[in-house]
Structure 1
Amino acid sequence: MRGVFVDANGSLADIFERLNKSGDPPVRINRDADITADQMPGLLDGAEIVIIDHTPLPTEVARKCSGLKHVVFLGTGARSYMNPEELAELGIEVHLIKGYGDTAVAECAIALMWAAARGIAAMDREMRAGNWLREDGMQLTGKTLGLIGFGGIAAEVARIALGSGMRVIAWNRSPKKFAGVEFVELDALLAQSDVVSLHLLLNDDTRGFLSARRIAAMKPGVILVNTARGAMLDEAAMIEALKSGHIRHAGLDVFNIEPLPADHPLTKLSNVTLSAHSAFRTPEASENLIAAAWEHCRRIAGGK
């Protein structure tokens, strides 16, 4: 059984090679991370396993990948790149990797929250332009952080925020318990939170979850943080809320269009802090990610 890592950037390729063990299934590494979906059938050349970091795999392309039986997706957001149900109908199973970057993503969410509260990115931009911008920030100690969704990343965010003196409340679709966190109804979370942070998985139920109505229901002057997926919120409604000041500031790591175009409306707003879908990018998270990918490949090759 053969595999191909089709879109490995330099650091992930190096880790993948280093973690290769004697007896592992053969996996060829394509070090060109900027491939297109149409190149996939030729790159796979009949391989049964494909490891994908960020390249889309449309169903019509997968049909042309003769021999393909398994997709090992490096993360949990495969639905942004492929349709797992349609692939399953073709006999292709999609394997996800969870938990590898919980701490990394949580720390990014916290960083975006603090940067938004103190306007650090705006001051940096203005000072580089020769302007001495000084504005009042928001003191977060004693403020309420609302977490929408409560998996491993949100639990890490809660741990850090509780340690900094914030009140943490959360809403989750299934019952959860976590020391120091109060679980509330969604409407109560939106009304009470000084900071709202999204931590849901993207699926048909969560696409557009933070709708215009729910954005309007948030506390005036709220900070919004999104390190989950851009498709989970109504982008146009968020932009209008940022313009009106209903949302004080947004810290965003994910977007509907990636890479974010230079002329995108979000790039024109001073009360937005942007990062390039890199919340998970730390050496520690990458090591965890690739180790888990190898475990998937070993399990698949072993028929488990």
Structure 2
Amino acid sequence: MKSKTVYIDCSELMLAALARVKPDYADHVHVNIGDPSGDEVVAIAQNAEVIWNGHTTIDAALLARLPALRRIIFLGSGAASYIDLDTAAARGISVETISGYGDRAVAEHAAALMLSAARQVGRMERDLRRGHWEPLEGMELGGKTLGLIGIGGIGRTFADIGKAFGMEVVVWNRSSLTDDWTAHQRSLDEVLAQADVISLHLALTPETRGFFGTEQFAGMKAGALFINTARAGLVDTAAMIDALQSGRLGHAALDVFDMEPLPKDDPLLALANATLTAHAGFKTREATERLAAKAMALSLMPFRSDVVTGFE
């Protein structure tokens, strides 16, 4: 492959978005459609100086097989979940991320999960398809408390949606807040104890991996709803399942999982009080077009080996 820039795992949705926002994209980046194996990555990108990566695992062994590589543009903010960052740094490869493009899409998906959990929409839909008619009791959201763990772009957008439903919003953030959100800031224990709905919006880092476990589920209000559209690694899944099975946790609505695709025998699939979606929170035409535009703009920026960038 002669192209110096290769998009290794483009989807049909992203290809269409690229064509809309940059009709001459093929002059700048070679696009591979589909999910390549490690050998296929080497075949299509062995001479590439820049790789666009949407969701492909790039470990130390694969990095060693890409000697020309200087930059990885990760199409999202969670590069650590897919790329061996330490090895990349040791090899002088910059890993650059893109954030902000999906704030609205993911926040709206979190709201959809909240509504489905509150009114047991998913469970009734499944029951009806099996021929079972049972109107299930739900929970009104107006006047309830929405607790946000992390208050970045997605969390702030979701907070505005919660306020529109008439919810009280309380937040816990790893760092201090210096703007209007300070009035909503609480300790983690206070957020857990007060909220009828808890939603995670943290980045996955070594410090936050397994952040939400047995102690945190025990500290939640009995029967509360739990939403995760961030990263599965933030949560001790076994502790969450125990809380769901015991009834301590009323409902979990999840878009991210320890293993994706979700295995057919995963215990979450057997739980009536779990609503599950296929890691689709970011997947809207609008968000994909924003991502395509930002990726192209970042790719066309002059490369500086002494700077590791992000792109808002």
Shorter-chain TM-score range: over 0.9
Which AA in structure 1 matches 2:87? E
CA distance in 1, matches of 2:85, 2:23: 29
> Percent of pairs identical after alignment?
42
- Deviation by residue 1:82-123 (Cα, 9 ceiling, x = unmatched): 122321111111110000010000000011001001000000
CA distance in 1, matches of 2:266, 2:59: 26
**Where does residue 280 of structure 1 map in the other structure?**
282
Quickly say closer, same or farther: Cα 1:82–1:134, change in 2 above 3 A.
same
**Where does residue 172 of structure 2 map in the other structure?**
171
Unaligned runs of 5+ in 2: 308-312
Would the aligned equivalents of 1:2 and 1:25 in 2 still touch at CA under 8 Å?
A: no
**Where does residue 100 of structure 2 map in the other structure?**
99
Structure 1 position 213, deviation (Å): 1.1
CA distance in 1, matches of 2:14, 2:183: 36
Aligned 1:227-266 pairs, distance under 5 A: 227-266=229-268
- Deviation by residue 1:57-88 (Cα, 9 ceiling, x = unmatched): 01211111020000011101111111223211
CA distance in 2, matches of 1:275, 1:179: 30
**Where does residue 66 of structure 2 map in the other structure?**
65
Would the aligned equivalents of 1:168 and 1:180 in 2 still touch at CA under 8 Å?
A: no
Aligned 1:32-71 pairs, distance under 5 A: 33-71=34-72
Quickly say closer, same or farther: Cα 1:46–1:238, change in 2 above 3 A.
same
CA distance in 2, matches of 1:230, 1:70: 27
Would the aligned equivalents of 1:140 and 1:166 in 2 still touch at CA under 8 Å?
A: yes
> SS where residue 72 of structure 1 aligns?
strand
Unaligned runs of 5+ in 1: none
Deviates more, 1:81-90 or 1:2-11: 81-90
Structure 1 position 24, deviation (Å): 8.7
Quickly say closer, same or farther: Cα 1:78–1:295, change in 2 above 3 A.
same
CA distance in 2, matches of 1:228, 1:26: 31
CA distance in 1, matches of 2:199, 2:117: 12
Deviates more, 1:165-174 or 1:294-303: 294-303
Query: TM-score under structure 1 normalisation?
Result: 0.95
Deviates more, 1:193-202 or 1:168-177: 168-177
Structure 1 position 162, deviation (Å): 0.5
> SS where residue 294 of structure 1 aligns?
helix
